[in-house]
Structure 1
């Protein structure tokens, strides 16, 4: 009897050990796209921080209340219509650095040159004010009106540019073939753009909605797959202090 009980305990112990070993791998397999997004966005932050003459003004990103990177945005044109779509991450600045990456979708559509080429590029958003970040409290954000994204300036900044940027909520850049340029979203009535939470990732991954992650709600990091914090880690490493 005792021998049987000992065998049962041994088997149970082995099963528990096996579960512990399998859990990280299972988590990795469950969120491969999310891991790729965070890692790709982190690499873009690293490139912009380390490559001389990248063009991203360090003084702006150090003042930003949140930073979003959408590593692969696809722009497709058919007849006179253009559609842009891509998935990325946004982290907000908090007391101890940056939040975990909240997963968001960028999308837009409108009239366009019918001969424009299809392209894939990255988009970087700098949310310069608390009001700009607070707009996510309702869920998604339409990039229009006061929340339109202005074309971000390229380094070095002039005093005139600094003055023009006073009161700007959101600045945007396109990153294509290793080159950065300011690009605007929401200035034209012919095109509509917006940011929406990808809660099909946020909820199962964190147990939180995207806006809750950006608000700084606590995330249990112990069970997160390796690679998910990559974007947060890049921001902490290169732009930790404000």
Structure 2
């Protein structure tokens, strides 16, 4: 009986020891689940949109002149993908993320959907990413103060397309538009309209309701924004 009790006690000690060893691993696994941007392949919903924006910023960084413009921008609106093979050309609906420069660095992302994305040339091409560099606070204020905005020449500020602009013209732009579009769309004019705050994605990403003003003024934090903020700060 004594030998049997000793065996049970030994097994109990071993079980407790194993649980103590496994606990940090389980906590780490839980942490990875809570911060899916550490593994973009498992991210979903708004986190996936943010992770795709990181890839777009990395692509822009390969162009030294574009990298310098990002360094001067007061804000950025990134549409990671607007469709392929003509999808959404003159069509409706899509989503992107906006960030703004604050006194302490780049803000976390504010989510904005758009009602339409119009591309001047209506045939050919493969789709791609579109980025609007907001070069001054006035352009950023459009995202903060208006219920719906448009990013085009009719919005009251100078919009310059990066691909066909010389340095002098770039300096005059309130908004500079860049796209990695190939094929027939490459020379087209790209305009986003009906841009509005995406409350659903915001709530899912932050776990609570937040206004674009609070986010773009740097009053929000989120672990899933870390890689995007680091990419922009390089």
TM-score by length of structure 2 reads 0.67
* Higher-strand-fraction structure: 1
Change in 2 beyond 3 A, CA 1:111/1:93 = closer
Please provide the CA RMSD for this pair.
4.0
Unaligned runs of 5+ in 1: 1-9, 187-191, 238-242
Structure 2 gap segments, 5+ residues each: 1-15
Q: How does 1:1-242 map to 2 (within 5 A)?
A: 22=30, 25=33, 28=36, 32-50=44-62, 54=63, 56-74=65-83, 82-108=90-116, 116-117=123-124, 119-137=126-144, 138-144=146-152, 145-147=154-156, 150-154=159-163, 157-159=166-168, 161-162=169-170, 165-166=171-172, 168-177=173-182, 184-185=189-190, 193-206=193-206, 207=208, 208-219=210-221, 221=222, 224-225=223-224, 228-237=225-234
Relative distance call for 1:209 and 1:27 in structure 2 (3 A) is: farther
Q: Distance in 2 between matches of 1:183 and 1:149?
A: 17
Answer whether contact 1:37 1:88 (CA < 8 A) is retained.
yes
Deviations 1:178-203 (A, max 9, x none): 9x9676445xxxxx723222221112
Structure number with larger C-alpha Rg: 2
Instruction: Give how far 1:130 is off.
Output: 0.6
Q: 2: CA distance between counterparts of 1:58 and 1:21?
A: 35
- Between Structure 1 and Structure 2, the one with more helix by share is 2
Structure 1 pair 120/33, CA: closer, same or farther in 2 (3 Å)? farther
